[in-house]
């Protein structure tokens, strides 16, 4: 560690130990009714707020009264959209959020994409009950997806801070905001519930939960189980798995304690994306499993030879098993001094597997480096296929602490987060035996090639300090900063053989230690309650994204193709960073204007300057995706974003409400970049994947025990290449849900019956778009067709 970094850490320690001295020197500020920090008092404020009544009907979206934009969906709305839904997908109805997935639940991580104000999911922060979930990379190295972290039916609320997250957010990737998920607390009354979902494509989802109710002195707990199985709509694979959650809560006069456990095991066979325009006329590209005889004959077909980038694999799948546990303790010294603490641990064992032709572009060269002069088909079992895996092993754990003090008109918070993350990623190749073929549900055994293995050891230190100063009854300022220090040591216990990569001169690098450090990331904000019904807010914040812990082929220093390139980046490279500016007005008013009885909403303008954008510049764009190509990590300049979000809910008496969200976003690359001697002209071009316009709406009706919703999601044109020479057309997706709750059934407290229809008009189009650096080419996944679901939920 350099002397400069050592001095930085000592300086931070001294500031951490004397926060009040520093606060006095800050341009002090804070949020209005609730501080702009990590959660206060109770973790489920949004879930309780979702039950609030405005104008006689339930609020669909809760807008937090903070210096930044934050909007929340409660448990009821999450499960109305679709029981068992990935809570991240449910957030697509919020302004500025664009989520795409070829699965109606949004569960398939391989073809999932998320954009918020021009930032993709790897540049956002994700937490569950304040516990970090990492950056949601598909081959995740520092976390897990929300749907694997908790059973959907146990999620109490899901929130998006679309401009910038709270200073206390446990994330090192939240350049463009934060997604926060909370789990439900146990019920105070003993009981049980069981839910069964049936639907299209042999869908069968079971959820069961048992609550102890209050026992002892302030104790309560629940345990729950879920199983999901559904045939994929475009191939003969079954997707789903098992999950278990348990939670215990203790409350007394001065202490609030909770502990949570999650186990998740799932297998998701994946479809392949279609490469365009070569695949013009192809809508789906399913694998050939389980018809092994057809798979073998396919290799000699004209179809295989005519589609070098759109050939069909025998199968591919994502296999994941996770254990996540945390304990949280809050001690109230008195009404004005509180201490929050969390400890957590996460273990992941994952494998991404693809069984593809041994003759696919680049593979003969790779295999010949290990088996020179041999018949490669025979080497790999005589089927004509080889099985590639990317194998993941991750152990991470950490501590989070925060001290909150209310002193007169000041609310001061000082806190810290430490995480130790050890993760391994290995690339291996296995045979696909012509007489005994494996399936997408099996773990591979006895590798023929251990191509390369990367080990990463990361220590993350994040501290934050802020003050909220209530200058007057209606005006509050917030000021603070966080310090982010991340040290990663990447090693290479197994290196790729010379000549096995593309180009042949590339190597997997030995690596070393690189730090991503910014000791001062400031945040300033203000809230002004103009009237009891109108509020103005503003926020300015800087954030940094630490380097991803991944090797060959990734946009990381350890993905360099030579040790010299690694050392050069270590010396001169910079982590990505952003400045976010946001301001807006909120409205929440009861009115008496004919049938219109209430309205609440928010309008927001934001400006973002994103610096040091890192891109893995591929050396060969024409290789099959199963091969992967060497990349050069390049700083390709900055991005400027300007946009507006406008959302509102109107209530028409007790029975009707209409929610609408309209968003405009202009995200533009500011610089060109080079690939060798070729200049890629991206300056002035729009950021890929993010539409300029999007529109979402939900029309809701409630009649006692009956309810129904009509939901719309309209996404504008999205550019699919960095040079903007190709794009995908806009699409409009509509869905419906309706249900009825029966009471007074013997031995059953309530029985809810709900029906859902997704993609009501059976629209076709492209959901997730994977941009390439090659002009005139991109890949994309299809939109799932119309599907029907019926759920029965009994509370005992």
Q: What is the 3-state secondary structure (H, E, C) of 720-789?
A: CECCCCCEECCEEEEEEEEEEEEEEECCEEEEEEEEEEECCCCCCCEEEEECECCCCCEEEEECCCCEEE
Kindly report whether the peptide bond that precedes residue 290 is cis, defined as omega within 30 degrees of 0: yes
Q: What is the dihedral of CA 5, 481, 68, 343, to 10 degrees?
A: 70
Q: In what order do the strands lie in the sheet with 97-100?
A: 97-100, 113-116, 119-120
Q: Are 133 and 149 in contact (CB under 8 A)?
A: yes
Q: Are 74 and 784 in contact (CB under 8 A)?
A: no
pLDDT in tens, 752-790: 999 999 999 999 999 999 987 777 899 999 999 999 999
Pull the structure tokens for residue 465: 């300090």
Q: Which residues of the chain have pLDDT under 70?
A: 1-58, 619-629
| Multiple choice CATH, 3-795, 3.40.50.150, 2.40.170.20, 2.20.28.10, 2.60.40.4070 | 2.40.170.20
* Whole-angstrom distance, CA of residue 324 vs CA of residue 753: 32
Q: Are 758 and 735 in contact (CB under 8 A)?
A: yes
Strands 673-675 and 631-635: unpaired
Give pTM, 2 decimals. 0.92
Q: Using the structure block, give the residue that is written with the tokens 């109305």.
A: 80
Residues 6+ apart with CB under 8 A from 62: 46, 49, 50, 52, 71, 72, 73, 74, 157
* Whole-angstrom distance, CA of residue 507 vs CA of residue 369: 13
The kind and range of the H/E element at 108 are none
Of residues 736, 783, 742, the one with CA closest to residue 757: 736
Burial class (CB in 10 A: 0-12, 13-18, 19+), 667: buried
Of residues 683, 668, 547, 691, the one with CA closest to residue 610: 668
pLDDT in tens, 481-529: 999 999 999 999 999 998 888 777 889 999 999 999 999 999 999 999 9
CB atoms within 10 A of CB 743: 10
Q: Are 482 and 464 in contact (CB under 8 A)?
A: yes
Q: Where are the chain's structural domains? A: 3-795
Instruction: List b or e across 681-693, with b for residues whose CB sees 16 or more CB atoms inside 10 angstroms.
Output: ebeebbbbbbbee
SS (H, E, C) 411-452: EEEEEEEEEEEEEEEEEEEEEEECCCCCCCCCCCCCCCEEEE
**In degrees rounded to 5, what are phi and psi of residue 555?**
-80, 65
For 93, 404, 693, 697, 735, the CA distances from 661, given in Å and listed in that order, are 8, 35, 11, 6, 16
Q: Are 566 and 556 in contact (CB under 8 A)?
A: no
Per-residue pLDDT at 9: 41
Per-residue pLDDT at 120: 95
Per-residue pLDDT at 23: 31
Distance, first Cα to last Cα, the chain: 59
Q: Are 570 and 517 in contact (CB under 8 A)?
A: no
Of residues 458, 443, 166, the one with CA closest to residue 318: 443
Residues 6+ apart with CB under 8 A from 664: 643, 644, 692, 693
* Whole-angstrom distance, CA of residue 252 vs CA of residue 388: 54
* Whole-angstrom distance, CA of residue 445 vs CA of residue 510: 27
Task: Provide the 8-state DSSP code for 85.
Answer: -
Q: Using the structure block, give the residue that is written with the tokens 């230690």.
A: 513
* Whole-angstrom distance, CA of residue 721 vs CA of residue 764: 21
Q: Using the structure block, give the residue that is written with the tokens 């200073």.
A: 167
- Is 154 in a helix, a strand, or coil? helix
Per-residue pLDDT at 616: 87
Ramachandran category for residue 421: left, alpha or beta (phi over 0 → left; psi -120 to 50 → alpha) = beta
* Whole-angstrom distance, CA of residue 704 vs CA of residue 714: 30
* Whole-angstrom distance, CA of residue 27 vs CA of residue 477: 9
Per-residue pLDDT at 504: 79
* Whole-angstrom distance, CA of residue 321 vs CA of residue 40: 32
Handedness of CA 158, 691, 618, 488 (dihedral sign): negative
* Whole-angstrom distance, CA of residue 172 vs CA of residue 673: 26
Q: Would you list the DSSP string of 4-20?
A: HHHHHHHHHHHHHH-HH
- Is 673 in a helix, a strand, or coil? strand
Ramachandran category for residue 251: left, alpha or beta (phi over 0 → left; psi -120 to 50 → alpha) = beta
Per-residue pLDDT at 619: 62
């Amino acid at each position: 560690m350099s002397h400069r970094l050592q001095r930085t850490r000592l300086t931070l320690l001294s500031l951490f130990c004397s926060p009040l001295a520093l606060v006095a020197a800050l341009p002090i500020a804070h949020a209005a009714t609730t501080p702009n920090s990590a959660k206060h008092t109770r973790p489920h404020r949004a879930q309780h707020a979702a039950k609030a009544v405005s104008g006689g009907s339930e609020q669909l979206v809760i807008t937090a009264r903070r210096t930044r934009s934050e909007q929340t969906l409660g448990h009821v709305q999450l499960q109305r959209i679709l029981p068992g839904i990935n809570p991240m997908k449910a957030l697509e109805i919020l302004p500025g959020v664009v989520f795409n997935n070829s699965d109606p639940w949004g569960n398939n991580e391989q073809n999932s994409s998320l954009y918020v104000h021009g930032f993709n999911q790897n540049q956002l922060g994700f937490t569950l009950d304040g516990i970090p979930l990492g950056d949601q990379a598909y081959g995740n190295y520092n976390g897990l997806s929300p749907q694997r972290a908790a059973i959907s039916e146990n999620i109490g609320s899901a929130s998006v801070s679309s401009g910038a997250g709270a200073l206390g957010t446990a994330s090192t990737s939240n350049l463009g905001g934060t997604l926060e998920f909370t789990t439900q607390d146990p019920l105070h009354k003993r009981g049980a519930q069981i839910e069964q979902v049936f639907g299209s494509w042999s869908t069968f989802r079971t959820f069961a939960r048992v609550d102890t109710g209050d026992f002892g002195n302030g104790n309560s707990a629940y345990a729950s189980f879920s199983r999901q199985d559904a045939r994929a709509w475009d191939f003969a694979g079954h997707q789903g798995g098992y999950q278990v959650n348990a939670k215990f809560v203790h409350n007394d006069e001065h202490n609030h304690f909770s502990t949570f456990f999650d186990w998740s095991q799932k297998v998701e066979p994946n479809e392949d994306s279609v490469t365009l325009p070569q695949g013009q006329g192809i809508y789906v590209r399913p694998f050939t499993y389980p018809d092994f005889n057809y798979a073998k004959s396919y290799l000699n077909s004209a179809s295989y030879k005519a589609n070098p980038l759109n050939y069909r694999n025998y199968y591919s799948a994502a296999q994941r098993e996770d254990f996540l546990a945390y304990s949280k303790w809050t001690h109230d010294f008195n009404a004005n001094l509180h201490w929050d603490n969390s400890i957590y641990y996460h273990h992941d064992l994952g494998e991404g597997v693809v069984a593809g032709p041994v003759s696919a572009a680049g593979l003969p060269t790779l295999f010949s480096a290990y088996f020179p002069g041999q018949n490669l088909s025979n080497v790999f079992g005589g089927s004509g296929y080889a099985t590639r895996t990317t194998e993941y092993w991750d152990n991470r754990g950490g501590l989070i602490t925060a001290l909150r003090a209310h002193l007169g008109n000041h609310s001061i918070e000082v806190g810290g987060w430490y995480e130790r993350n050890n993760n391994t990623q290995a690339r291996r190749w296995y045979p696909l035996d012509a007489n005994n073929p494996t399936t997408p549900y099996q773990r591979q055994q006895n590798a023929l090639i251990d191509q390369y293995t990367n080990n990463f050891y990361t220590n993350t230190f994040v501290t934050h300090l802020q003050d909220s100063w209530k200058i007057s009854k209606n005006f509050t300022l917030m000021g603070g900063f966080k310090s982010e220090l991340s040290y990663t040591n990447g090693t290479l216990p197994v290196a790729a053989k010379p000549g096995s990569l593309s180009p042949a001169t590339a190597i997997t690098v030995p690596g070393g230690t690189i730090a991503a450090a910014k000791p001062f990331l400031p945040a300033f904000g203000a809230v002004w309650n103009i009237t009891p019904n109108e509020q103005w807010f503003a926020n300015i914040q800087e954030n940094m994204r630490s380097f991803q812990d991944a090797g060959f082929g990734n946009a990381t220093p350890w993905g360099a193709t030579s040790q010299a390139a690694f050392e050069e980046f270590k010396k001169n490279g910079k982590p990505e960073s952003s400045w976010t500016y946001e301001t807006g007005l909120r409205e929440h008013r009861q009115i008496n204007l004919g049938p219109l009885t209430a309205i609440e909403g928010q309008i927001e303008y934001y400006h973002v300057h994103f610096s040091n954008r890192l891109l893995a510049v591929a050396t060969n764009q024409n290789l099959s995706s199963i091969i992967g190509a060497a990349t050069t990590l390049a700083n390709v300049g900055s991005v400027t974003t300007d946009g507006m979000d406008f959302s509102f809910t109107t209530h028409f008496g007790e029975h009707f409400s209409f929610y609408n969200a309209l968003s405009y976003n202009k995200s533009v690359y500011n610089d060109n970049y080079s690939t060798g001697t070729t200049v890629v002209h991206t300056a002035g071009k729009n950021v890929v994947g993010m539409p300029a316009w999007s529109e979402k709406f939900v029309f809701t009706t409630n009649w006692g025990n009956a309810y129904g919703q009509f939901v719309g999601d309209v996404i504008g044109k999205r550019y699919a290449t960095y040079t903007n020479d190709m794009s995908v057309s806009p699409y409009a997706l509509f869905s419906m849900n309706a249900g009825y709750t029966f009471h007074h059934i013997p031995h059953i407290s309530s029985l809810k019956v709900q029906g859902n229809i997704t993609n009501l008009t059976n629209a076709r189009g492209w959901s997730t778009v994977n941009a390439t650096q090659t002009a005139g080419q991109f890949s994309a996944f299809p939109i799932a067709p119309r599907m029907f679901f019926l759920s029965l939920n009994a509370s005992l």
